[in-house]
Amino acid sequence: MNVELRNIQKTFGPVRANDDISLTIPAGTIYGILGENGAGKSTLLKILSGYLRADSGALLLDGRPAVIRSPADGIRHGIGMLHQDPLDFPPMEAVDDFMVGRSGKFFPDRKRACAELGKLAGDFDFSVDPEARVDSLTVGERQQLEIVRLLAIGVRVLILDEPTTGISAGQKQKLFQALRQLSGQGMTIVFVTHKLRDVEELCGQVAVFRQGRLIGETARPFDEGALVRMMFDREFERPHRSRAALGETVLEVRDLSVEDRRLSVSGANLELKRGEIVGLAGMDGSGQELLLRACAGLIRPVGGRVCVSGRNLTRRPYREFLDAGVAYLPAARMEAGLVRGLTVTEHCVLAAGRNNFSIDWTGAERQALKRISDFDIRARPSSPVESLSGGNQQRVLLSLLKEDLRLILLEHPTRGLDIESSIYIWDQLKKRCQNGAGVLFMSSDIDELLQYSDRVVVFFSGRMSAPLDAAGLRAETIGQRIGGVGFE
């Protein structure tokens, strides 16, 4: 099926996620969509599959205008999406999951579905046991199950969002083989990725997105340098950086292995000195947050060592990390940092520690007022934190940090903040460095990484590069490494 998107617009508040996107995807091609985090790729495909609705624009399927209001609509039109995190039913058996979502009889024929699942899986050399529970399958197998499920309900456009994240090399080969086979049969395949190698290996054509805009389209053979420039190139002026004097080692990570359901990082090594700022680059979910959380004591490493100021804190409780002077600022400020429904004053009391049996509310309010003026927070002491803007929430979090910190870990310190707030946040962090703290942060903003880090470490699919000296480092180099160049 030929898919044509015309002048698609979508904004989330002040953010233009899709700015006048027009694309034509012919049937029988494997069409790549390339871009960094927040480039607008997922938004566009969610619009195509019915998860989101565009503010304006039109969709044509085989030349006929179509209106897709919901995922069910999308499937009726033959458009199916394989989400990055499989949207399946973990407690079900594979065959039940396979049968979900098809219009059918009141009593579904489980036996036939089993046979059908087996046959479809066999066609693509997939290994899905119909009787196995979905949560016992690997991410790759769940993906395979989802693909045959979509095929069985008659999908003619298959969208895959970052499908090669979290699956093994063998599964990736099988997936690519299946996709080639399908496109040969006339299936339209849209392949969303940030990995240059995947594009080069699989796609016939590729569109590059950046900051909500379609930057360009190219066809095979691809020029890697050109793709990277399209993904990352921008006007960029590097301001003068004043470096703090480096002190003794504050964080030492040795042969660290950490993992979660989707990803594992192994053999990570890193050393951070007092006064130093190290930035972690990479697409979201490449392993940098696993490292950060392990350094904060929020997840337990599988192997290796984490030492803070010479003390081995590996697998010690989170409390001991706090006592050792480690602080962690999450990207999800309202979910994992602040408490919705409590005021700024109440947060000040909470942060003051556990030795206050009865609360001196007047004193606490004075404290809050001081922090509000010290950190230039636009709020009153009695404001509930959820009523503050993102920048002010981040300032509140910063203001709650203890005085004598040794290590500050941050996820996306300025995500969603305006320029003024961003500069302010970094001024504060640099001040902390001058006072002897080390800062380790992850960001998907290359400018931020280059501007503030002393060294940059790039993550790709759970692997980490050697630290790169930020002085003289080019944005393009980071961009290439984020795309996986140099990790083979």
CB of 258 to other proteins, least distance (A): 18
Residue nearer to other proteins on the CB measure, 176 or 318: 318
Q: What is the DSSP string of 406-418?
A: SEEEEESTTTT--
**Token duo for residue 291:** 């490292």
CB of 357 to other proteins, least distance (A): 6
CB of 297 to other proteins, least distance (A): 11
Task: List, in sequence order, the alpha helices (H) in 62-204.
Answer: 71-76, 94-99, 110-123, 139-152, 169-184, 196-202
Q: At 114, phi and psi to the nearest 5?
A: -55, -50
- b/e 165-197 (16+ beta carbons within 10 angstroms → b): bbbeeebbebbbebbeebbeeebbbbbbbbbbb
Alpha-carbon gap, residue 117 to 109, rounded angstroms:
12
The three-class DSSP label of residue 355 is coil
Cα three-residue angle 317-320-325, rounded to 5 degrees: 140
Residue nearer to other proteins on the CB measure, 318 or 487: 318
Residue nearer to other proteins on the CB measure, 346 or 448: 346
Residue nearer to other proteins on the CB measure, 168 or 356: 356
CB of 336 to other proteins, least distance (A): 5
CB of 356 to other proteins, least distance (A): 4
Residue nearer to other proteins on the CB measure, 56 or 356: 356
Residue nearer to other proteins on the CB measure, 285 or 330: 330
CB of 237 to other proteins, least distance (A): 36
Q: Identify the DSSP state of 166.
A: T
Q: Which residues bind other proteins (CB under 8 A)?
A: 298, 318-319, 322, 328, 330, 335-342, 346, 349-351, 353-359, 361, 400
Residue nearer to other proteins on the CB measure, 294 or 338: 338
Cβ neighbours, 10 Å, residue 375: 18
Q: Is there a contact between 195 and 164 (Cβ–Cβ < 8 Å)?
A: yes
CA 461 distance to own-chain centroid: 12
Residue nearer to other proteins on the CB measure, 323 or 427: 323
CB of 306 to other proteins, least distance (A): 18
Residue nearer to other proteins on the CB measure, 368 or 449: 368
Whether the upstream peptide bond of residue 221 has omega within 30° of 0, thus cis, is: yes
Nearest CA-CA partner of 21 in 36, 41, 35: 41
Alpha-carbon gap, residue 408 to 236, rounded angstroms:
27
CB of 375 to other proteins, least distance (A): 17
Handedness of CA 465, 471, 474, 479 (dihedral sign): positive
CB of 262 to other proteins, least distance (A): 19
**Token duo for residue 298:** 């929020």
CB of 289 to other proteins, least distance (A): 14
Residue nearer to other proteins on the CB measure, 214 or 400: 400
Half-sphere exposure in the Cβ direction for 221 (13 Å, CA): 2
Angle, helices 344-351 vs 390-400, to 10°: value is: 30
